[in-house]
Structure 1
């Protein structure tokens, strides 16, 4: 993997949706799929909320009301950020010329490792997932079947 990292202006463009040059595709893949990707995504989404929270903190009134106003906005923000994380990650990969399936790389590796452990524990033969499952071919229309 190359050690090309985007400069400050390239990083801002990347976060705003601009694709990075091809030489930085490895960095994009590590950024989107590497360790800490969810943490980075959440921080990036919460940064624009900070000025709003500061503004709400200065509204006159009891401190409890100010805190509750901030929480009223913060809780749905974090909820929707977590819910839309896979979509955003796929968008970043596609936008930078990478396969969107890379977003599920960690999940696929974990499932594969679990399947290998299961086969080893119960002495099942090691099979490919691409083998024929006995299903009918799908190249015919439903009427032809």
Structure 2
């Protein structure tokens, strides 16, 4: 079950979706491409602001410097807070925040099993 466009817009700005859409939320926050979607949604609202800088008269290098002065720290903190934001969204939708580390735990377990298979205990 997918959210309607209005529900999806509300979801993007931070509202919770109904309980019957928990599986969709889980897939959105921890499924394949979740980090890519999070970063895209985070950078998308910044594009009009950065485009407005192109209307300022002056040398292109000054405009590029202004854009980079905003873009670099914004992207840095967006990436740094990925885990915190996604964990918060899981909690607000009533899902287990441990889902975020599930993939890493499976990878560690596969490595451990591989090690034990090769070298024994």
When structure 1 is superposed on structure 2, of 103-112 and 63-72 the one drifting more is 103-112
Deviation for aligned residue 1:101 = 0.9
> Residue deviations 1:104-128, cap 9 Å, x none?
121111111111111111112xxxx
Give 2:64's aligned residue.
67
Compute the RMSD of aligned alpha carbons: 1.0
| Structure 1: stretches of 5+ with no match in the other structure | 125-145
What TM-score, normalized to structure 2? 0.95
Instruction: Name the SS for the 2:81 alignment partner.
Output: helix
Q: How many residues align?
A: 121
Say which one has the larger Rg. 1
The alpha carbon displacement at 1:87 in A equals 0.3
Structure 1 runs of 4+ off > 4 angstroms?
none
Pairwise CA distance, 1:80? 0.3
Gaps of 5+ in 2: none
1:33 aligns with 2:27: no
Instruction: Name 1:132's counterpart in structure 2.
Output: none
Aligned equivalent of 2:119: 122
1:47 to 22, 44, 51: 44
Among 9, 17, 26, the alignment partner of 2:6 is 9
